Amino acid sequence: MKPRFKKTHGVIERGEVMKAFSFSQRLKKFPPYLFAEIDKKKEQLRKRKVNFIDLSIGDPDIPAPRSVIETLYKTAKIKVNQKYSLDQGKIELRRSIKSWFKRRFEVDLDEDKQILPLIGSKEGLVHLPLAFVNKDDYVIVPSPGYPGYRNAARFCEANIYNLPLLERDNFLPDLSSIPLNIRNKAKIMYLNYPNNPTTALAPLDFLKVLVGFCAKYGIILAYDNAYSEVYFEEKPHSVLEVKGAEEVVLEFHSFSKTFCMTGFRLGWACGNEDLLAGLLKVKTNIDSGIFGAIQEAGRRALDNEDKYLDKLRKILKERRDIFVEGLKAAGFQDIYSRSTFYVWAKIPASFKSSIDYAHHLLTKKNIIATPGIGFGKDGEGFIRFALTVDKNKLRRVFSKPLF
Ligand SMILES: Cc1ncc(COP(=O)(O)O)c(C=O)c1O
């Protein structure tokens, strides 16, 4: 390719042009990040002073627990927390994670070898392949699925294998559909239950089969459990409840959705010791630990805020019930809302595509929702609503027909 040239602003004395910067081949393959695109649309609406209802991004409107914010404030004043922190996270935080995990899932984790705090779960999920995936290896990602998994594979120039999550299978993957050559070449399989965007849960029987499958083919199972505490009728599992799972699994957890701490940036990975060592090696070369006061705030949440979680689930359940009733009355037919704070619904038959319908909601109803195609090809035909606004606003969604 011929180099492109651009005018400079006087930094080069002789000659008026210099070679333009261009993205790496790797980065050129990244599609625009779904939520960054939606953010641009929101900004345009704000500029036009349009009063819209934002049901697009999974950033809960509910404040983090008060005691957590107070801990953050108090511990930010302590000098040691203002310095570089340990890459492996504070031992006190790892111990809190260990006891929370034991209390919640009846699983014992070694705080020195099997737990690694993260700067949010996305950070760990996206860095993991850098430790284990080579160019042209395969990474298996769910479709529909959280966009971070695909982009993690793209950073390593790996091939992406889309594993469909279909309505007829309760949005669980059909592992037998994965061709043998892909099974043999795949290094990582990402899966996520409670599932964003479909809201599906994974039964323990399925998790057992999944662990067996990954062990048989030597595939790392990156199990994203970011929504483990956002449930209603059925309590989600940890895949580490499955006997022997620690041989092949890294499970990811997040404070973002559990304690509405999205801005704090805190999560953790746990499970296989060697996998954690690889992830830690990558992280040590990229970041320099998590702000100590945020780690203290996270400890406080895990140790003392079980009641907050009960209250959170109550608020979200009420919202979910209002919203699902509203959708039914509005004529929607296939509506999924088993867990998380999302509702996943089939778009009305009169619309050609999920983008078409999202566009209709945005331009005609001032409602921002996420088109299913944004989560992968198998998300087409669906729309995702994030119930991250209060119940009165949610009721307003139904003040006019939705299609
Ligand atoms: C399925 C899933 N995994 C991971 C994340 C990232 O969460 P965190 O804030 O912990 O990075 C999100 C955020 O929306 C998510 O939906």
Residue 122 alpha carbon to ligand 1 centre in Å: 6
Collect all residues with Cβ–Cβ distance below 8 Å to 36 and sequence separation of at least 6. Answer: none
Task: Give the residue from 305, 327, 352 where a domain finishes.
Answer: 305
* One domain for residues 276 and 327: no
Ligand 1 center–CA 198 separation, angstroms: 14
Distant-in-sequence, close-in-space partners of 246: CB < 8 Å, separation ≥ 6 = 114, 240, 271, 272, 273
User: Domain with 387 in it: what CATH number?
Assistant: 3.90.1150.10
Structural domain boundaries enclosing 229: 66-305
Q: What is the enclosing helix (H) or strand (E) of 73? A: helix 66-76
> Do 274 and 375 sit in the same domain of this protein?
no
Whether 115 and 177 share a structural domain = yes
Do 388 and 285 share a structural domain? no
Domain edge (last residue) among 251, 279, 305: 305
Q: Ligand 1: distance of its center to the CA of 194 in Å?
A: 12
* 365 in the same domain as 253: no
Pair (336, 263) in one structural domain: no
12 lies in some domain: no
Task: Give yes or no for a contact between 286 and 127, defined as CB atoms under 8 angstroms apart.
Answer: yes
C-alpha gyration radius of the chain = 22
CATH number of the domain where residue 193 is located: 3.40.640.10
Q: Cα dist. 336→22, 196, 324, 346 in Å?
A: 43, 11, 9, 9
Residues in the chain: 403
Does 21 map to a domain? no
Q: 244-253 as b/e, with b when 16 or more CB fall inside 10 Å?
A: ebbebbbbbb
> Do 50 and 81 sit in the same domain of this protein?
no
Q: Whose CA is nearest to atom 13 of ligand 1?
A: 58
Same domain, 175 and 297: yes
Residues with CB under 6 A from ligand 1: 58, 120-122, 146, 192, 196, 224, 226, 254, 256, 262, 267
240 and 346 in a common domain: no
Instruction: Work out how many domains the chain is built from and give that number.
Output: 2
In the Cβ-directed half-sphere of 386, how many Cα atoms lie within 13 Å? 20
Rounded to whole angstroms, how far apart are CA atoms 173 and 164? Answer: 6
Say yes or no: 215 and 143 in one domain.
yes
In a domain, 13, yes or no: no
Q: What is the pLDDT along the chain (403 residues), one digit of tens a residue?
A: 555 666 666 676 666 677 889 999 999 989 877 777 778 888 888 898 989 999 998 899 999 999 999 999 999 999 999 999 988 999 999 999 999 999 999 999 999 999 999 999 999 999 999 999 999 999 999 999 999 999 999 999 999 999 999 999 999 999 999 999 999 999 999 999 999 999 999 999 999 999 999 999 999 999 999 999 999 999 999 999 999 999 999 999 999 999 999 999 999 999 999 999 999 999 999 999 999 999 999 999 999 999 999 999 999 999 999 999 999 999 999 999 999 999 999 999 999 999 999 999 998 999 999 999 999 999 999 999 999 999 999 999 999 899 9
